[in-house]
Amino acid sequence: MKKQQINHVTCRFASKSQNEALARSIITGFLLPLDPDAEELADMRCAVSEAVTNCIVHAYRNGDGIITLGAKAYSDRSVKIVISDNGCGIADVEQARKPLFTTLPGEDRCGMGFSIMESFSDKLTVISHVGRGTKVTLTRRLNDRT
């Protein structure tokens, strides 16, 4: 049977640090009806927080901007989450995804964001264009509930 989309949501919010918690609440509210286990929920909350924080601190350098958070749920219990910005973009995505790589070492950044997103998702894709923005897509299939 082909998988079907069963729910979707798209939100746009300002690039402000207090919206990191908002983004986590949105994804929690979206996932809860799917009955994820506690670990899955915590993983997805953390992954979303990483991506949104990257938009705020890197894409928009703590300035004004719009962040888009989208989520889709499918009949096979897979979830697709997209976080995108129209910020500075990433010149070398492969390098940016390496553990411990950061362009802001002086600001207590450890370069672990993408590694964390990767370990908390089944698949992570990053598409970026310098000067135009970045789109991060996380997919994860939730465990079957008995």
Ligand X SMILES: Nc1ncnc2c1ncn2[C@@H]1O[C@H](COP(=O)(O)OP(=O)(O)OP(=O)(O)O)[C@@H](O)[C@H]1O
109 is catalytic: yes
Catalytic entry in 19, 40, 50, 86: 50
The token pair that represents 17 in the structure block:
């640090």
> Can you tell me the distance from the alpha carbon of 54 to that of 49, in angstroms, rounded to the nearest whole number?
8
70 binds, among another protein, Mg ion, ligand X, none (CB under 5 to 8 A by kind): none
Q: Which of 9, 11, 34, 42 binds another protein (CB under 8 A)?
A: 42
Identified catalytic residue from 20, 97, 109, 141: 109
Write the burial class of residue 116 (CB in 10 Å: 0-12 exposed, 13-18 middle, 19+ buried). Answer: middle
Give the span between the Cα atoms of 3 and 12, in whole angstroms: 27
Asked if 70 is part of the footprint of ligand X (rule: CB under 6 A), the reply reads no
Q: Which is nearer to ligand X, 36 or 84 (CB)?
A: 84
Retrieve residue 137's tokens.
Answer: 């897509």
Residues with a known catalytic role: 50, 54, 109
